[in-house]
Each structure stands twice: as C-alpha cells, then as structure tokens.
Amino acid sequence: MKFWNREVETMSRDALEALQLKGLQKTLRRVWGCEWWRDLLRKRGMSDPEDVKSLDDLRNLPFLTKEDFREAYPLKMSTVDRRELLEFHMSSGSTGTPVVMAYTKNDLNQWADTMARCFTMAGLEAGDAFQIMPTFGLFNGGFGCYHGCRKMGLFCVPASSGNTERQIKLMRDFRVKGFCSVVSYVPRIIEKLDASNDPDIPSLRVGVFGSETFSDEMRKKIENRLHIECFDIYGMTETGGIGTTGQDCSAHAGIHVWDDYYITEVIDPATGKNVPDGEYGEVVFTSLAREAMPIIRYRTHDISRILSREKCACGRTHIRIDRITGRTDDMLIVKGVNFYPRQVEQALMEIPGVKDEFQIILEEHNGMTDVTINVEAEPGVTGHTVAKHLRERLGFLPKGDVFPVGALPRSEGKAKRVIRKKID
C-alpha cells in the first residue's frame, strides 16, 4: 500500500485529535484578529476564542454559510495582508455574487499536499501521465489538479475542458494513465470511442471524478467500459478547492477526510444539532491550517454520514464519510415524495438498455409540481418499462419519454440534470 505521507495518514486517533485541537485553537485566534470575522462571531454569540478548551466545545460555535462568503466579497474575510495572497479561485451561485477563496503560499502548499495524497491513493506514481480535464481559470478544478501534479511529479497533460476528440488523442499519444473530470463528461468520451475504429485506450487505469454526485451503477458502467478504477474526490471552493477534503481509497469504503487539515461534523440540517455516527445529515467542515480564508463550522449543504473513525483496510486512520448522496438544497419534492437526482440516476442505470443521458423536468403550475423524466436508451426499451421501474424505486409515477442515443442535449462540463419550468 502506497502513501504520500505515511506518518500523517496513519496517525493514531488520539494523535489526530490532539493535532485538531491545536489547529482549531490557532484558527480561532487567527480569525479573531480580523475585524469582519470578529464582528460576525460576536453577533452570533461568541465572546472569546480562548473559551474553546476541547474539541467538544466546537459544537458551541456558530455556523458559517455560503451567504457569509458572498457578503464578504471580495476579500473581507481574509485574515492576512493583501501582499501575502498569491492566487484566488471562485464560484458563483444563483444570486450571481461570487464565492471567493484566496490562497497564501502555505495554503497552496496544503492544497498540493492534499491532491498528492489523493493521487497516490488512486494508484498514481511519479512519472505517470495524468490528464486534467476540468477548466483552467476561476473554477478551482484545473489548477487544483495541476498543483497536485507538480507536487508529486506526475507528467501533466493540461488539456482543460471540451474537444472530446482531442482529449482522446492526447490520452493515446501520451499514454495517459489517469485523468480527472466531472463524471457526466465521461459518456461523451465513451460515445466517441464507441463510434471510432479504435474503441479502447490501453494505457488508462484511473479516473478521478469530482464536483458531481454519481451512483454506484454509473461507476460500474464506466469502470467496465473503460477498464479503469474510479475514485470520488471531494472538495469545494469554500474548503480550498478540489481534493482539499479528501477522496475514497482502493477499498472504496467511504471518503477519507484529511483529519489533520479539517474537522468533520454531520448535523441535522433542520436543528443544527450533531447527529450520531452512521446517521445521514449535512456535512460541516472546520479548517485547521488555512491562512488566508479559514472556515469555522461551514455548512456545505452536502448530505452524507460518518461511516467510521477506525483504521481502514488501506491502512489510513483518517475519518471516513459516505459518498455524497445529494444536497439539502437539491432535494426534489413531487406528489409528497422526497428524492434526489442521484436516486433517479441509480434507478435508471438498473434498467438494461438505458444509457447515461437523462433529464428531470419540473413543471410548476398553480402551486403543483409535475415531473417528467426523459432518458436515452437502445431500441426496444419502452417508456412503460422505464416508468414502471421508476415508480417502484421512487414511489410515484413520473411522466416521460424514451429518446434514441444522441437525442438529448450534451454538455462539455457539468450535466444539467434538473430543468425547472414555471407554467403561468
């Protein structure tokens, strides 16, 4: 079993928790020195960072939200002098106000370190060719992969997004072993390969997928078709970018969160109270070593659960959470039934002949919501078959239709699975 940093990745639970307490107290002192942070924490009931004497005291601290990041735009929540900042990335939401994450030199080194851990965990070694398919720019995916490649000495193929034929050519010409992308882009690659005279890429062994949830059925389809092993990498702008919070290992028994860099909580999204290990809730992160923009009890909206705090079969001792099942803000409610887009994908992938593309169309009329689920499938798959299976799995009967392969809209980036329409 290979490790990027064996000593840290296999630390005892007691040693990790001692490290976490020290990092938490240091982070609280850091943010208290920033006027924006001090005002925020005081308004939410915190009087003195020195009151935190144990990890249990973390539960008494206020939450940080995406709205706080937006209110702090561009750099109000930075705890360092502007001259110490070397880079920033950002994402924007429905409000149009961006969420910014800035980095010092040490922050970038931490990011590169977590990415190197993830790449090593996926079976990559120095000198292996690794193709980066996320966009290079304000989005953090491309640069996060690049920092990791440089850190561990991978042969970086900085392809960025789009141009599927060129992506395949680069993989073949440079004997690429691993690549990173959003999982919804992989069907484009497979379609191009299936339509070519040379349907395989023999050098490929590893696929690293982030930014989207995906079902076990989708994972199996990709692994079987491309003859690779899939890994689910985790991280977001607010935690510092792709890979900052972890990835699953070859045991595929949950996502390892880097305990030396983050404290992980799972809370009831309605009450804000911590839930027992094993129970699903909203993931909350507190950073322990970030300099420019630390986070304290950041509510991610991601739904997961703590699977284990025990040593994994891979030898790592860091906490494991379940793969993300959805988000508190993307739960769909139709005819009294709650479900997530990932559950639709999982149900569709169970139907023989159904392909990877689908749409969930929500039409709201006079306060009532109707759902239509359109799918692509091979000849012989009927709408009745699809509707019957979805009713069994989801608990209601959606409308929908079956389309030939290639008929639904394609995207070079994240797939737009949910389309909302308001009918007057």
Are 174 and 306 part of one and the same domain?
yes
- CATH of residue 389: 3.30.300.30
Identify the domain containing residue 337 by its residue range.
332-422
Are 154 and 123 part of one and the same domain?
yes
Q: Are 339 and 398 in contact (CB under 8 A)?
A: no
Are 255 and 359 part of one and the same domain?
no
pLDDT number for residue 7: 97
* pLDDT higher than threshold 90 for residue 352: no
Number of domains in the chain: 2
pLDDT number for residue 412: 61
The neighbour count for residue 203, using CB atoms within 10 Å, is 14
**Residues contacting 384, CB < 8 A, separation 6+:** none
**Which segment of 53-57, 147-151, 169-173, 353-357 scores lowest on mean pLDDT?**
353-357
Identify which of 304, 314, 255 has the alpha carbon closest to the alpha carbon of residue 6: 314
Q: Which of 310, 329, 348 corresponds to the end of one domain?
A: 329
Helix (H) or strand (E) holding 420: strand 418-422
* pLDDT higher than threshold 70 for residue 146: yes
Are 391 and 405 part of one and the same domain?
yes
Are 341 and 283 part of one and the same domain?
no
Q: Is the peptide bond before 202 cis (omega within 30 degrees of 0)?
A: no
pLDDT number for residue 343: 77
Confidence of residue 411 (pLDDT cuts 50, 70, 90): low
Q: Which of 329, 359, 376 corresponds to the end of one domain?
A: 329
Q: Which of 274, 298, 329 corresponds to the end of one domain?
A: 329
* pLDDT higher than threshold 90 for residue 212: no
**Residues contacting 204, CB < 8 A, separation 6+:** 171, 176, 177, 178, 179, 226, 227, 228
- CATH of residue 112: 3.40.50.12780
Any idea what DSSP says for residue 64?
B
pLDDT number for residue 121: 97
Where is pLDDT greater, at 221 or 391? Answer: 221
Q: Are 261 and 244 in contact (CB under 8 A)?
A: yes
List the structure tokens of 31.
């943010």
Q: What is the mean pLDDT of residues 128-132?
A: 98
Are 35 and 121 part of one and the same domain?
yes
Q: What percent of the chain has pLDDT over 90?
A: 65
Are 151 and 280 part of one and the same domain?
yes
List the structure tokens of 360.
């969930």
Confidence of residue 423 (pLDDT cuts 50, 70, 90): low
pLDDT tens digits along 13-62: 999 999 999 999 999 999 999 999 999 999 998 888 899 999 999 999 99
Whole-number average pLDDT of the chain = 90
In degrees rounded to 5, what are phi and psi of residue 392?
-65, -40
Q: How far apart are CA 40 and CA 62, in angstroms?
A: 9
